[in-house]
Amino acid sequence: MDALTAEQAAYLAGVIDGEGHLAIVRAVKASGGSPRFGFVAKITNTKREWLEELQTWIGGRVYQTGASPKRLNSRPCFDLRLIGAEARAMLTQIRPYVRLKSRHVDLLLRYFEVAAMRRASNLPGQLSDPSIIAELDQLHVEMKSINLRGLHQTWHQGGPHLHRQCRLDGCERPHLSNGYCKTHYKKHVERGGPAWHERACVQCGKPFVSKRSYAICCSRRCVNRHGYLDRKRVTGRS
């Protein structure tokens, strides 16, 4: 990768702030041993030509990640992913210009330093230095905490674990969708919220209120009668 001009470095800093994703990943083998660490440094956009232009500046490879063939209206999405040397060179040069993700950049640059120390100190058949593993774990946890939203920190045998939870105060159930747990998703999204909804029964015409925004009948009797008449219309029976 060639040295960036001041204009290119400032432009890429804005790109990383808006379209970039920086992360540290951790994995443990089922057979045990020291954990393995990696990183993610990528820029995501729907314009492949733009990413290919950035590729001429900083290197990396462009991959298609979005657009399922089953969804006719979906737009393809692309990632420009960087390897270690390219990512480190780019982040070092754009660091003075980054604003929103300045802490991400600092953590990832420190990760590169600690990972190099681990490679230099590793001996065949021996576990890695525990102090180095501890610092990598700390970098991973902090990076994960600033990347996720709606966090609730708990602990498990391997250390701190971060996951999303329901956004309603006092609810600690795990997140399902739209910021809610399964129970509150049904209440606030599927059923239209806690408010009562005024309706007129489509079968008897009587006004009624319901917790469900999609209710159309005032009683089970009207529901059954409405379905029975619909079946008669479909079958043509008198």
- pLDDT tens string 124-160: 767 788 899 999 999 998 998 888 765 444 444 445 5
Whether residue 145 is found in the same domain as residue 182: no
Tens digit of each residue's pLDDT (9 = 90 or more) over 67-101 = 555 555 677 889 999 998 999 999 999 999 999 99
> What is the reported pLDDT for 232?
58
The answer as to whether 11 is a domain residue is yes
Regarding whether 105 and 186 lie in a shared domain, the answer is no
Among 23, 24, 16, which Cα is nearest to 44's?
A: 16
Quick one: pLDDT at residue 154?
47
Q: Cβ distance 166 to 151 under 8 Å?
A: no
User: Can you give the pLDDT at residue 194?
Assistant: 56
Answer yes or no: do 202 and 182 share one domain: no
**Three-state DSSP state, 157:** coil
User: Using CA atoms, how far apart are residues 27 and 236, in angstroms rounded to an integer?
Assistant: 63
The per-residue pLDDT for 156 is 45
Higher pLDDT, 61 or 158: 61
The pTM (predicted TM-score) of the whole model is 0.61
pLDDT digits (tens, 9 = 90+) for 2-51: 789 999 999 999 999 999 999 999 888 767 677 889 999 999 998 999 99
Q: Say yes or no: 178 and 218 in one domain.
A: no
Q: Which residue has the higher pLDDT, 195 or 96?
A: 96
Q: Would you tell me how many other CB atoms lie within 10 Å of the CB of residue 107?
A: 20
- What residue numbers bound the domain in which 171 lies? 165-194
Structural domain count of the chain? 3
We report the CATH number of the domain holding residue 90 as 3.10.28.10
Asked whether 203 and 222 are in contact (CB, 8 A), the reply is yes
Instruction: Please indicate, yes or no, if residue 122 is contained in any of the structural domains.
Output: yes
Mark whether 70 and 39 lie in a shared domain: yes
Mean pLDDT of the chain: 81
Higher-pLDDT residue of 72 and 200 is 200
Pairing of strands 78-81, 151-156: unpaired
